[in-house]
Each structure stands twice: as structure tokens, then as C-alpha cells.
Amino acid sequence: MQRVFPCALSPERYEQTQAHRTVRAEAVCPRCGEAAGLQRHGSYLRWITGEAGRCLRICIARFWCRACGGTVSYLPDFALPYRLVAVASFGAYLEGRHERAVQCWQGRLREYRRQMEAFAVRLLRCVGCGLGRAPPQGGQVWPWLKEACGSLGAAARELVGTFRIGLFKRYQCHQPAGP
């Protein structure tokens, strides 16, 4: 199972300081609800874009639950599940800001937006008024998420944490019974 946690570091800082080593698991296993203790279970590598659009390889902390035998990994919230480009750059793209990372990944970000818009109906059906704001008319997902959550990173974290759904898709790894 994958959890998304708030991380104050940039991808660069996270990588330089090997911050995955300081990630703490929750007291209660999000898969089975037991407090038997999640113990460290190595890490895995994934790619993420940094501030200037450069690709970095970071480690994601993984834990193992002694009660259910499942694993739980903790993704820093500057990253989107299964997407290379950092959430801040996607947010900048949606705002029409042309910073360096946005320029580097223009084509990929256009595709992310297309995927988010294609998924909007299902996302809105799942969340409803759950973010404290009425769902938008006409599927304008980004202004609605921004108003409700403040930033795209906060929105993506909230969607996974509370509604077990991503911006683009509902993934098995965010469900308690998933991998």
C-alpha cells in the first residue's frame, strides 16, 4: 500500500539528505488497523523531476506490518504517484506559469492535464462535497481543488489520504486491501 505524507523538503534536499531514512511509519497499520508495529522494510527507487526540471532518483521508505504481513510505502507529497514530473511543476503549468521545469516538460504536462480532465467526472463523483466545496460545473477541476486545498500538492495528498483516489486514476495501491 502507498501513503502520501507531507514533506517540507524539495526533491533535491530530500535526495541529498537521504530523507527516506527519517520517514516514520504511522502507529497503526493503514492496511489492517492493527497497532502491532510497522517495521522498516528497505526502500525502492523512483525518479522525480527537481526544481530546474532535472531528473533525480530518490528512495522511498517502505515498512512491513507484522500483523497482516503487508507492506506500506511512504511517498513524499512533492511527488505524484506513478508520474515523473513533480506536483509543483504540474501546478505551475496549470496556473500558466512558464518556469524552467514547466518548459522542460511541456509535452508531458499537457498529457497530465488531459488525463486529469478525462478522469474529472469520476473524481467529482467520488469526492462530491467532501472537500467542503460544491463540485464545479463543467469539470473545472483545478480551480476547485485550489480553492479547497490551497495547492495541487495538498490536494493530491488529501485525495489519496481521505478519498483513496488520485488526480488521474484510482490505484489499487491506495486501497487498504491493495498491494
Would you tell me which residues interact with Zn ion (CB under 5 A)?
A: 29, 31-32, 65, 67-68
Q: How far is the CB of 46 from Zn ion (least distance, A)?
A: 23
Joined grid coordinates for residue 66:
507484522
Q: Residue 158, Cα to own-chain centre: how many angstroms?
A: 9
Q: How far is the CB of 10 from Zn ion (least distance, A)?
A: 32
Toward Zn ion, which CB reaches closer, 71 or 151?
71
Toward Zn ion, which CB reaches closer, 72 or 120?
72
Joined grid coordinates for residue 62:
517502505
Helices (H) and strands (E) in the chain, counts: 6, 4
Q: How far is the CB of 179 from Zn ion (least distance, A)?
A: 13
Toward Zn ion, which CB reaches closer, 69 or 107?
69
Q: How far is the CB of 27 from Zn ion (least distance, A)?
A: 12
Toward Zn ion, which CB reaches closer, 67 or 148?
67
Do 53 and 92 form a contact (C-beta atoms < 8 A)?
A: no
4-15 exposure pattern, b = at least 16 Cβ within 10 A, e = fewer: beebeebbeebb
